[in-house]
Amino acid sequence: MLTNKAKYGLRAMCALHGSDSRWLQARAIAKRANVPEKFLEAILVDLRKAGFVESRRGHLGGHALARPAGQIMVGDLIRAIDGPLAPVRCASMSAYEPCSDCADPEHCAVRELMRETRAALSGVLDTCSLAALTERARHETWMQPAIGDAA
């Protein structure tokens, strides 16, 4: 399940990409993305640590995409915020942990179904770029600039 943190992070990244300005302050991102500003600041830290966002201080500072939106995949953004996409740890490729109550993880039908689920989910999310997501989001009301909102 996508957490609010990841949903807000995706909205914030769309707001950064959809902006006319290279640098946006957190307040402007929060307003454009309809995200609580304090929560957004923590999300931006995660995105900066993962290399998706650059930040700089000062009056002309703020936050910007660290690389082109076409090179940023939605699956990677979600992993940076929420962790592995797998619905259970035993199906994860990056954070595998066997279930404590599973007698035979290699032949577990539930694990295999969850691995297929993870593969289908990552197949969609890892082929959708931030640029494509932003284009989809342009039709949503939260993506519209507020009246009087300076870029």
- Closest to 52 (Cα-Cα) out of 21, 10, 20, 24: 10
What is the pLDDT confidence band of residue 47, given thresholds at 50, 70 and 90? very high
**Domain boundaries along the sequence of the chain:** 1-72+129-144, 85-128
CA angle 123, 125, 131 (to 5 degrees): 130
Nearest-angstrom CA–CA distance, 14 and 19:
8
Q: How many CB atoms lie within 10 A of CB 29?
A: 26
Task: Characterize the bridge pairing of strands 62-65 and 53-56.
Answer: antiparallel
Classify domain 1-72+129-144 at the CATH topology level: Arc Repressor Mutant, subunit A (1.10.10)
Q: Positive or negative, the Cα torsion across 111, 116, 118, 119?
A: positive
pLDDT, tens only, 66-90: 999 999 999 999 999 999 888 888 8
pLDDT per position as a tens digit, 88-105? 888 888 888 888 888 888
